[in-house]
Amino acid sequence: MLSRVADTIYWLARYMERTQSMLQVIRTNYIASQNEIYDFNWRPFLQLYGDLTPDELAQLDGHSTPILTHLVLDRHNGASAYRNILQGRENARAVQDHITKEVWQSLNDFYHVIRDPEVGQQITHEDPISGLDALLRQALLYAGTVQHTMPRDEGYAYLGIGKCLERAIQTTDILRVRWAAVKEHNVHPLDAPALRYLLYSLVGYEQYIKTYKGTFNTDNVLQFIVYNTQFPHALLYSLDQLAYYFGRLQPESLPESHAHVAFLIGKVRTAVRYSSLSAQEPEQLTSFLLQTRQQLLDVASALNTSYFGYN
């Protein structure tokens, strides 16, 4: 496969995984912002998914409608859901010979849904949850279409690499930002909102409750999100899947290129697997997440140079 094509497919997967992740986070945040008991702050997520100056952040903070517009619909915000969907669609258009017509159709439909004035009206003025749910349904439709229609070829491997790498980055970011609220509220009660919102942000609340039989505490939540290899958004699960999809490229790779990237993936995977994290040591957790994020970016950089022809 040409490096240009591989790069386009890889970034298609990253854009779409990022879109689904941020839509879930935004949906959870909006629900949290409507809870008068919970002291909610949009600013950390505006910094994650926006491109605002400090003055613009101060003006928007606490006003849900312009925040939702900026994060979801703003065509001038390079990190908005709209721009990610647009970039994903453009990438899909460029590699139509390497994806199925069903995948292309699902992305094209997603693009038209986010441009639908009715969805925009719901998000900004009527019922934001209904509008966000319409977008999340399209994200799930795309993911299912890839799973059920794509041939298990080299292109599918690059889709898997992009998805799992982006998911691991998103998990580290969401956990780091959300854990600050957990620490701030010093939560331990059964219905601790900071812990529930963290799990909802990662689509993990229901699985967590089933796994731990209703036992709700910070250490269990942390172990679940970082180490549980049955939870699709867990950090270690994402890294295991990243290693699996990258391993499928070995027959088509130059030995030295594959060995270099495989080493970096193995390095971060081993560091996570054999780490020992505790909810009682938040500074250690923050340092671990920042280090892990940098190692993931090193993997992305190595892919750029070894597989996609970047200098």
Q: What would the pLDDT profile of 11-47 be if each residue is shown by its tens digit?
A: 999 999 999 999 999 999 898 888 755 556 788 888 8
Q: What is the pLDDT of residue 305?
A: 94
Give the length of the chain. Answer: 311
| Strand, coil or helix: 61 | coil
Residues 102 and 237 in one domain: no
Residues 282 and 247 in one domain: yes
- Spatial separation of the C-alpha atoms in residues 301 and 165, rounded to whole Å: 12
Where residue 215 falls among pLDDT bands split at 50, 70, 90?
A: confident
| Model confidence pLDDT, tens digit, residues 222-256 | 999 999 999 999 999 999 999 999 999 999 889 99
Residues 168 and 307 in one domain: yes
The model carries a pTM of 0.93
- The structure tokens 């910094």 sit at 47
| Model confidence pLDDT, tens digit, residues 78-122 | 899 999 999 999 999 999 999 999 999 999 999 999 999 999 999
113: containing domain: 1-150
CA-based end-to-end distance of the chain:
19
Judge contact between 27 and 93, C-beta under 8 A.
no
The domain tally of the chain equals 2
- Domain membership of residue 157 (yes or no) is no
Q: How many Cα atoms occupy the beta-carbon half-sphere of 261 within 13 Å?
A: 27
| Model confidence pLDDT, tens digit, residues 145-197 | 999 999 999 999 999 999 999 999 999 999 998 887 766 555 554 457 888 88
Q: What is the pLDDT of residue 108?
A: 96
Residues 286 and 308 in one domain: yes
CA-closest candidate to residue 151, choices 300, 270, 9: 9
| Model confidence pLDDT, tens digit, residues 280-311 | 888 899 999 999 999 999 999 999 999 998 76
Q: What is the pLDDT of residue 42?
A: 81
Q: What is the pLDDT of residue 190?
A: 44
Residues 32 and 73 in one domain: yes
- Domain membership of residue 126 (yes or no) is yes
Residues 180 and 146 in one domain: no
Residues 128 and 166 in one domain: no
Residues 212 and 251 in one domain: yes
- Spatial separation of the C-alpha atoms in residues 169 and 134, rounded to whole Å: 25
Q: What element of type H or E holds 161? A: helix 154-185
- Domain membership of residue 155 (yes or no) is no
Q: What is the pLDDT of residue 186?
A: 56
- The structure tokens 């950390």 sit at 44
Residues 21 and 125 in one domain: yes
